[in-house]
Chains A and B, each alone.
Chain A
């Protein structure tokens, strides 16, 4: 048992190391948000303490553009993630099962290549389309756009997870007379909860941090948080303190969502999960 304990302990140490490494820049962002400009650029870095000030947070929170960007970001991300994962899971089911048969559906599998198109190539014609349709600076338009560009990922991630479920389970359900839809919702989806959770987190993250599309397709009305944070890079100076404060505030909602959804990751399926 000592060997196992040693293994578990060393695993813990390794994880701790990456934990600290991952969090240090975030911690530094937090520190920066609490400092004034002169302290931020001090030659000798102070890891803790120094003159801390809440001025940056005060100025960001009292900025009404921040509040409206926050509202927009939440609205757009929640809806876009929901749509993308929902539509994606449906399509994934069809592909995961259909793909095994002789009748291939080559086009849907090209889907993932679409994601390789650099944003700028998509953004310019999208802008022209959106303006022509009178949907410029419209939150709903952004929801649809986000859902669509993340669709290849939500589809193909779910395909991967669904393929891990043995098809005999569906077979027995079919023999019992269940319809396709029932099989999908009552049996498959609960079994891929972990995958569903992970895909949701991933798509939510991509949507929350999307920068180029809201930059080009929106002005003030539908401005989102990433664009708002980008606004601190003025053409004379970068207000690092306020930018860091905005960035920290920006992390909170998505971190909460991630933590909430992560609970689904822990407990796996009724078939049990892999354990060491």
Chain B
């Protein structure tokens, strides 16, 4: 088993292709992507970057260069550190729930039981609901007085939970809604990843007498790794950017209990009208993800 597997993996990795041919045409394939990104993301990002060194805001039209003032102010702002803490908690716990759960569901769905298509479609539905509706409906359901969740608990004789009014349960509520929506995303992509895996190495391993667990550990998971790593990276990024429904569900409250870093950025830009400060925070967020991103690159052998 080991030598056959080894051969298989070696073949995935480079090989004797005409390198120069791929390199030449590969460059052309990247042009459209480059153009789009340049126009819509890179240029605005550059403007944001330069404005982060000014005092530009929505409150006045002329702005002046102020160097690193915005950045210093952010690091001195207790709101910033609170938001980091909140983001780490919310994103950390969410990831911890969504990735394993999504994988688990993907494995189950891959078993192709009866009714699988229907079940899969149903589990995907939360991803499709528009963000405003997600926030408003969950807010409605989680209302401590007349929400359906507490109403149901009451029916079973259980005590009501202050989903949105208690600092700790508010964080749990955010994690709950996020997982409700995004476990499906993880499931969707890992399922596709599982189905992408060719049958031959698995059959080979089975022929060699491997147990299911060993098949997963030595064959499936390594082949799933590229997709899985992208999924994890995407979830980390999206989780940090979580904003739409938190804003509606809790407004970052009670107090600032559920205010994550993206919501704080929105506050800087739209509530305080300080667009330059918002830009600075955006740059900080993007840069701070760099270590994680580098790790991901290493894992992906790029």
Contacts and interface: CB of A to CB of B under 8 A. Distances in A.
Nearest to A41: B146
Interface in A7-66: 8, 11-12, 14-16, 18-19, 21-23, 25-26, 28-29, 32, 40-45, 47
- Chain A interface helix/strand/loop/mixed: helix
Given A103-B23, A120-B265, A167-B14, A247 B130 contact: yes
Interface stretch (B73-81, B121-129, B165-173): B121-129
A125 B137 CA distance: 32
A265 B198 contact: no
B96 interface: no
A113 B289 contact: yes
A67 interface: no
B15 interface: yes
A180 interface: yes
A259 interface: yes
A276 interface: yes
Nearest to A21: B180
Interface in A200-244: 201-202, 205, 208-209, 211-212, 225-226, 229-230, 232-233, 238, 240, 243-244
B145 A255 contact: no
Nearest to B200: A271
Contact of B123 (A22, A110, A116, A124): A22
A112 B197 contact: no
A161 B265 contact: no
B22 interface: yes
B226 A163 contact: yes
Given A117-B286, A120-B282, A91 B196 contact: no
Nearest to B25: A180
Interface in B1-54: 8, 11-19, 21-23, 25-27, 29-30, 32-33, 36-37, 39-45, 47-48, 51
B130 A226 contact: yes
Q: How large is the interface on A (under 10, 10 to 19, 20 to 34, 35 or more residues)?
A: 35 or more
B163 interface: no
B253 interface: no
Given A25-B141, A100-B14, A225-B130, A113 B290 contact: yes
Contacts of A12: 113-115
Contacts of A74: none
B33 A151 contact: yes
Interface in A98-116: 98-101, 103-105, 108-116
A120 B199 contact: no
A180 to B, nearest CB: 4
A18 B113 CA distance: 15
Q: How large is the interface on B (under 10, 10 to 19, 20 to 34, 35 or more residues)?
A: 35 or more
A94 interface: yes
B148 interface: yes
Contact of A180 (B22, B129, B220): B22
Nearest to A145: B40
A93 interface: yes
B266 A120 contact: yes
Contacts of B129: 25-26, 29, 209, 247, 250-251
A25 B199 contact: no
B99 interface: no
B132 A148 contact: no
B95 interface: no
A156 B123 CA distance: 24
Contact of A116 (B27, B138, B289): B289
Contact of A155 (B33, B196, B302): B33
B65 interface: no
**Residue among A42, A100, A121, A128 with the highest chain B CB neighbour number at 10 A:** A121
B40 A156 contact: no
B223 to A, nearest CB: 6
A26 to B, nearest CB: 5
B63 to A, nearest CB: 12
A233 B198 contact: no
**Residue among A156, A160, A211, A272 with the highest chain B CB neighbour number at 10 A:** A160
Given A11-B108, A151-B33, A271-B198, A120 B226 contact: no
A125 B44 contact: yes
Given A23-B122, A240-B136, 9 more contacts: A15-B113, A40-B140, A43-B146, A98-B26, A111-B33, A116-B286, A174-B21, A202-B185, A202-B188
Interface of A: 8, 11-12, 14-16, 18-19, 21-23, 25-26, 28-29, 32, 40-45, 47, 83, 87-88, 90-91, 93-95, 97-101, 103-105, 108-122, 124-126, 128-129, 144-145, 147-149, 151-153, 155-157, 159-161, 163-164, 166-168, 170-171, 174, 180-181, 192, 194-195, 197-198, 201-202, 205, 208-209, 211-212, 225-226, 229-230, 232-233, 238, 240, 243-244, 246-247, 250-251, 254-255, 258-259, 262, 265-266, 268-269, 271-276
8 contacts: A22-B124, A97-B22, A113-B286, A113-B293, A166-B8, A181-B25, A244-B137, A273-B195
